[in-house]
Amino acid sequence: MERSVPIRSVSRSIAVLQAINRGEWLTVMEISKAVDLPYPTTFRIIQTLMHEGLVACEASCKRYRVTALVQSLALGYTDHGNLISLARPRMVELTQKHAWPISLTTHVGRSMIVRDSTHTLSSLTFCNYAPGYSLPLLECASGHAFLAHIGAEERLSLLTGLEAYDRRTPMLDMFKSERLVQNVRENGYATWERNPHTQFPGKTSSIAVPVFDKGAVVATLTLVFFATALPMAEAVRRYADDLKAAARELSLQLAAPASVNQPATEALAVA
């Protein structure tokens, strides 16, 4: 069967909508830079999204935001069981211990999507990355942790799709050759110094570890710290083992029978 080719205009429109969703009242120029598209192309896409009711414009300052209608895009989505409720206590515990915020991310298409985070529980953060914030798969620690732990066939399929959409990048070649895969698997974590795709590019770095459900990677836990606070090697020494331990415990709990993870009140009700 011939591999399908992505429709570039649809991919660009999704990227623009995601960029607007991440920001607060962005200008066309800010959106254009965020998605690396020409200004006229970005403007036409925004006008189309406005026509469909997904984006609104503040006329006085020519800034754009998403509308409540974007929630309709998630009506058919079903969550991965109780992943968030099980992960939350461990995320809070890690933030209380190390002060840095923790994010739980899952893979969707070409991105890793924040499902939950403890940014609001920490003063050591530049902003709150709410659920729905997206990061490019090849350009974040969580994406590398995910890619390194999926099957070779699935990874190649994802990389082929990324290559069809974007120009070839060194990271894509490194994953295709499995040089990065082996390194991440041996370490048990992935890192990214000076994250480029945040509201304050280059200000933070990250360490990410995989979370499994019955042997399949379903999410990542990511610790985010100020890039100037300490070098990556020191951050790994301080935090990687605790991150991996939390991910192992969460993976075991996800693999346990549903009755084991039920709150006591629910278990009694079932009984």
pLDDT tens, 229-268? 999 999 999 999 999 999 999 999 998 876 556 554 344 3
Written as one string, the DSSP assignment of 52-69 is TTSEEEETTTTEEEE-GG
**Predicted model pTM:** 0.73
Query: For 159-211, what is each residue's pLDDT tens digit?
Result: 888 887 666 678 888 888 888 899 999 999 999 999 988 878 899 999 999 99
CATH numbers and ranges of domains, the chain: 8-74 (1.10.10.10), 83-259 (3.30.450.40)
Contacts of 193 (CB under 8 A, 6+ apart): 205, 227, 232
Query: For 93-124, what is each residue's pLDDT tens digit?
Result: 999 999 999 999 999 888 899 999 999 999 99
Length of the chain equals 271
pLDDT score at 61: 79
- What is the C-alpha separation between 40 and 232, in angstroms, rounded? 40
Q: Is the pLDDT of residue 53 over 60?
A: yes
Q: How many CB atoms lie within 10 A of CB 191?
A: 18
Q: Find residue 66's DSSP bridge partners.
A: 55
For 15, 175, 182, the CA distances from 145, given in Å and listed in that order, are 22, 11, 11
Q: How many CB atoms lie within 10 A of CB 204?
A: 23
pLDDT score at 144: 96
Q: Could you tell me if 13 and 45 are in contact, meaning their C-beta atoms sit under 8 angstroms apart?
A: yes
Q: Could you tell me if 180 and 143 are in contact, meaning their C-beta atoms sit under 8 angstroms apart?
A: no
Q: Could you tell me if 49 and 56 are in contact, meaning their C-beta atoms sit under 8 angstroms apart?
A: no
Query: For 2-20, what is each residue's pLDDT tens digit?
Result: 455 578 888 899 989 988 8
DSSP H/E element including 78 = none
pLDDT score at 1: 37
- What is the C-alpha separation between 214 and 211, in angstroms, rounded? 10
> Mind spelling out the 3-state secondary structure of 176-245?
HCCHHHHHHHHHCCEEECCCCCCCCCCCEEEEEEEEEECCEEEEEEEEEEECCCCCHHHHHHHHHHHHHH
